[in-house]
Structure 1
C-alpha cells in the first residue's frame, strides 16, 4: 500500500510519507494518451482500495492516468466531509457561552461557579457535567482533562468553558479519516505517517476556525479554503496501491485583484477556464511516470469557488484537466452502470444506453437525472473529448459514453453485446462515431425521466394591462424572488409555471401575493414533470400524440404541456401520485419498441 507522497503542489502543512517501490506507474510510452478518472465522494468513501488496486492499476500500463477525487461522503449527505466542513464554518460564527460576544468580550477560563451542598454539608461539584475544553491535538477523541478531582475554594470551583461547537464537528472529520486510513493502509509505518498527516490537517482546521471566530467573520474565500480540506484529505488516503503523487491545486489559479468581485457578483468567463486548462496540463505533466492524484478543489478563484461554481467544482475540474492534458477520454466513476432509458428501480424494462448525445444528457440532467452538469460537459465536448460514465462496483462494464457527435443526429446505440469498447486510440473514437452514424436511421426517443417535488402556479390576467405588461410583471416578480421556472406555458392572458417545491412556505406565500398584483393565482402542489427525451424526436411524426394518448388511456391527468422550446424534449406536468405509472406507460409505448433485458441500477 502507498501513502501520500511528496508533490510539487502539495500543501505546505506537512511532508507526506514515503512510497514503497515496485508499484504500478503510468505508461512511459511517449505515444500513450492521458486518461482522466474522476471518483465521486461516495466511491472514495466506500472503495478506496478497490479504486487504487483494481481500477487505476488496470489502466496505467496502456495510458497515462490522472485521478481526481471528491471529498469523502458519509452515510448521509449531511455527514459528508464537505457538509461537515460547511457546518463547522457556520459554527465558528455561532454565539454561545464559549464563543466571543457581540460586544467583543469573551468568557474567561477559570470562572468560579457555585457548588451545591450535600445533605451532610460537604461541598460537591454541580450535578450537571460540563464538557471539557478540547485540545487542538486531542487524538482519538481524548479529552484534555486529566481526570483529577476538582478543588473547591470557599464554595466555588474553577470551571473552564466548553469548547466551541466546531470542535466536535472537526473531531468527526478527524475520526472518519483516521478510520479510513487504518482500513486502507496495511503497512504500519506508512499508516502512522498518514495518521500524522490527518492529525496535522485537522489541527490546522481548528486553528483556522478559531481565528475566524475571534475576528467574527468567515469570508467567501475563507469558506472556500475550509471546504478545500475535504479534497486534500481524500487524495492523501487515495494514494494507496499505486506509485502516486499527491497534487494540491490550492495555488493553481494565478493571484488576481478581484476587489470589485469580492462577493462573487460577477461570473468567470470562458477565457478564465481556457487559461486554467493550460496551467492544469503543465502542472500534471510534471509528475512524470507517477500517477497524479489531484484535488478536485481548485482555488482561490475570483469571487469564491463555491459562489462561482458551486459544489460541483470537482466534476468541472476533471473536465478542465481532461482538456489541458488533451485526454482521450474523461471517465466519471459512480456507483451505477451508466445512463438508462428510465429508472429501473421504477421501470423493470429499462435498458442501459451505450452512447448518448451531449444534448440528450443535458436534457436528462435538467429534468431529474443526475448525469453531468451541462457546463461541465461543454468544456470537454467542445474539444471532442468523450465522457464515459462507469460503475466502481462493476469496472468491467462498458458504461455509457457521452459522445461529441455533433455531426451525427442519432446517437442511441445499443450493440449486440450491450457495451461500447473503451477507446485506446483515436481509431477507436472514429469507430464510435461510425457506430453512431450507422444507427442514424433509428428514429426513436432515448429516455424518459421524471422530476418530482414540483409546484404549478397558474396566473390569469386581471385584464387591466396589455399582454406584454402582464408577462413582464410576472417575469420581473420571479426574478426578484430568484425563482427558476422548469416549464412554462403561456397565452395572452394566462401563464402556467412549474417550479421546484423548494421555497419556504413564507417565501412562497410572499411570491403568490406579488403575483396576485398581475391577476388571479392558483397553486397546485405535489406535482411531477414527465419528460420524453430523444434527439431523433424532431423527425418523429406523431410521437407527441402517442405520448399523450398513452397517458390518457392510462387515466393520467395532464396539468400542463410544454413542447417546442427544445427540439429533443416533450414534457408535461402530472400528479405526483401518477409518476411511476406514467413512467412505465411511456416507456412501454414509446421506448420499448424492441424489448431488451434490463441491466443494473440507473444513474439517477
Structure 2
C-alpha cells in the first residue's frame, strides 16, 4: 500500500512524472508496478500512468495482435473464429483481474466492466461481419479496446493496493477538426491531455494509450507506437519532470546484452543517438515520439520493471544538458547534478553503441546506359515510392544503385517493383543480409574510426556489401551477411566500445 498522502497528487509544488508501461510489463509485472513502482514516486511526484494493451510471453499472443486477427476473421467468409478470439481475450483479462485484485467489491466491479467491454467488442465485430467491412477508423476502435481492458485492470489493482486511481478513457478527447497530423495537432493534443489529467485532482490517472479518432486513422498514421506518443504528449502538456518508459531491460546498452556478454549499460544517451539506434534495430523509443518530448526539454528515462531501483538510461535534451530545467525536483544524483549545468566533460572517447538490423535484402540496379544518370535515379525512386518501399541504406554512382531494404516490409511488393526496375537495367536481389550500425555523436571527432571499424571486419573475414555514412557522421553503417552479423558485432564491440568503463564527470566543489 502506498505511504503517500492522498493530497500528494494535488500538490502544485510537486513535479509530474509520466510513466508509460508496455504490454509485457502490464501482463507479467503488474504486481511490481502497483505495489512498488507507482507508490515509490508518490511522495515526491504527481504520477500519471499510461498503459499499452496486455501482452503474454510473446507479441504474437498479445492482445493487440489478437484483436487484429479477430478483425481479419470477421471479414473471412464462413469463419467464426473471431468469437473464439474474443472469448480468449475476455478469459485472459478476467483471470488477470482475479489474480491481482483481493477486494471483493473492487473485483466485482472490475469483472462487470471487463465483461461489458468484451460484449461491445463482440457486437462490433458481428456488425462488421454483416456489412463485410471494417474501415480504418473502425479498426482503430477495435484495437483501442485492448488499452481500455488493460487500463481498467491497472486502475483497479492500484485501488486494491490503497492508491486512489482513476481510469481515463481517451477515445473521444479530440473535439476539433484537423486535416493532417502536424505540430499544431500535437500541441493541441498535449494541452487537451494536460487538462484531462488535472481534472483527476488527487487521484492517479491511468490513461489508455489509445486517444481516439485522428485524421487518416491512428494505426495508419502513427502505427502501433501510438501509446508511446500518447505518454509523450501527456508529459509535454504537463511539462513533466521526466517521461519514464518502463521495459524489461535495464536501459540502453552498448550492444544487445543477450548477444554480447560484455555490453555495458549507458547511463545517458543523446536523442540523436537514440533515434539512430531505434531505426537500425534497437527497440528504444520511436524517433517521432521522442521528438515531441525532446523539443519541450523533457528528459526520457528508460527503466526496468524487474529492477525498479536501477537508474536506467536517460535520453537528455541538449537544453537540459546545458542548463537547469527549473523544476522543483528531489535532490539530484551526482550524475544528474553534472547533467544540469555544472562543469563536466561528457565526450566519449569511443563510439556509443552498435546494433544489428536483421532480415535485410540488398537490391542492386545497374543501368544499361551511361548517359542518363539523372533520369536513372529519378525513375528508381519513383518505382520504389509507387510500391511503398522504404530504403534503409543506399549507395549510388552514376549508373549503379545498391539499396538495403527491410524484407519484412517489402516482400509482397518487391517483385512488382523489380519488374519495373528491370526496364532501367540489370536487377538482382541478395537475401539474408543484415545492417550493422556503429552509432556515436562524437564519432565525427574520432579520426580514423571508420577505418578501425572496417579493419575489425576484415580481420574477422567478413565481407561488406554496402557502406554508408551520413554527413552528420553520427552513424557508420554497412551491410554484411546475416549469418556473420553477430560475429561482426562482437568483434567491433570488443575493439571499439569495450574500452572505457564509463564517463568520468568532475563535479563542482
Q: 1:318 aligns with which of 231, 236, 246?
A: 231
Larger helix proportion of the pair: 2
Q: 1:295 aligns with which of 192, 198, 208?
A: 208
Q: Report the equivalent of 2:293.
A: 380
Q: Does 1:36 align with 2:18?
A: yes
Q: Report the equivalent of 1:212.
A: 128
Alignment of 1:98-497 (within 5 A): 164-239=80-155, 240=157, 241=161, 242-256=163-177, 267-405=180-318, 424=330, 431-434=337-340, 438-463=344-369, 465-497=371-403
In terms of Rg, which structure is larger?
Answer: 1
**How far apart, in 2, do the equivalents of 1:380 and 1:213 lie?**
41
What are the ranges of 5 or more consecutive residues in structure 2 without an aligned counterpart? 323-327, 503-509
**How far apart, in 2, do the equivalents of 1:584 and 1:353 lie?**
17
**How far apart, in 2, do the equivalents of 1:496 and 1:557 lie?**
15
**How far apart, in 1, do the equivalents of 2:319 and 2:462 lie?**
36
Alignment check: 8 A CA contact 2:194 2:237 kept: yes
Partner of 2:408, secondary structure, is coil
Q: 1:568 aligns with which of 474, 480, 484?
A: 474
**How far apart, in 1, do the equivalents of 2:455 and 2:4 lie?**
64
Deviates more, 1:390-399 or 1:449-458: 449-458
Q: Report the equivalent of 2:77.
A: 95
**How far apart, in 1, do the equivalents of 2:131 and 2:278 lie?**
41
**How far apart, in 2, do the equivalents of 1:293 and 1:305 lie?**
20
Q: Report the equivalent of 1:124.
A: none
**How far apart, in 2, do the equivalents of 1:327 and 1:22 lie?**
19
Alignment of 1:49-68 (within 5 A): 49-68=31-50
Q: Report the equivalent of 1:118.
A: none
Count matched residues: 492
Q: Does 1:578 align with 2:484?
A: yes
**How far apart, in 2, do the equivalents of 1:525 and 1:437 lie?**
50
Q: Report the equivalent of 2:454.
A: 548
**How far apart, in 1, do the equivalents of 2:333 and 2:265 lie?**
24
**How far apart, in 2, do the equivalents of 1:58 and 1:593 lie?**
36
Alignment check: 8 A CA contact 2:297 2:319 kept: no
**How far apart, in 1, do the equivalents of 2:466 and 2:395 lie?**
7
CA shift, 1:225, in A, is 1.2
Q: 2:445 aligns with which of 539, 558, 564?
A: 539
**How far apart, in 1, do the equivalents of 2:6 and 2:260 lie?**
42
Q: Report the equivalent of 1:46.
A: 28
Alignment check: 8 A CA contact 1:460 1:520 kept: yes
Partner of 1:249, secondary structure, is coil
Alignment check: 8 A CA contact 1:44 1:69 kept: yes
Q: Report the equivalent of 2:61.
A: 79
**How far apart, in 2, do the equivalents of 1:515 and 1:546 lie?**
36
Q: Report the equivalent of 1:128.
A: none
The C-alpha deviation readout for 1:70-129, integer Å capped at 9, x for no partner, is: 010123222211111122222222211x7xxxxxxxxxxxxxxxxxxxxxxxxxxxxxxx
**How far apart, in 2, do the equivalents of 1:272 and 1:428 lie?**
38
Relative to structure 1, is the Cα distance of residues 433 and 544 closer, same or farther in structure 2, using a 3 angstrom cutoff?
Answer: same
Q: Report the equivalent of 1:524.
A: 430
Q: 1:515 aligns with which of 421, 426, 430?
A: 421
CA shift, 1:508, in A, is 2.7
The C-alpha deviation readout for 1:279-302, integer Å capped at 9, x for no partner, is: 110110011111001111100112
Partner of 2:465, secondary structure, is strand
Alignment check: 8 A CA contact 1:25 1:291 kept: no
Deviates more, 1:587-596 or 1:31-40: 587-596
Alignment check: 8 A CA contact 1:221 1:304 kept: yes
What are the ranges of 5 or more consecutive residues in structure 1 without an aligned counterpart? 3-20, 99-163, 262-266, 410-421, 597-604
The C-alpha deviation readout for 1:351-394, integer Å capped at 9, x for no partner, is: 00000000000000111101010000000100100000000000
**How far apart, in 2, do the equivalents of 1:365 and 1:563 lie?**
17
Relative to structure 1, is the Cα distance of residues 529 and 48 closer, same or farther in structure 2, using a 3 angstrom cutoff?
Answer: same
Relative to structure 1, is the Cα distance of residues 503 and 383 closer, same or farther in structure 2, using a 3 angstrom cutoff?
Answer: closer
**How far apart, in 1, do the equivalents of 2:11 and 2:412 lie?**
62
CA shift, 1:507, in A, is 3.5
Alignment check: 8 A CA contact 1:556 1:582 kept: yes
**How far apart, in 1, do the equivalents of 2:473 and 2:76 lie?**
50
CA shift, 1:504, in A, is 6.7
Q: Report the equivalent of 1:11.
A: none
Alignment check: 8 A CA contact 2:5 2:43 kept: no
Relative to structure 1, is the Cα distance of residues 506 and 351 closer, same or farther in structure 2, using a 3 angstrom cutoff?
Answer: closer
CA shift, 1:566, in A, is 3.8
Deviates more, 1:567-576 or 1:505-514: 505-514
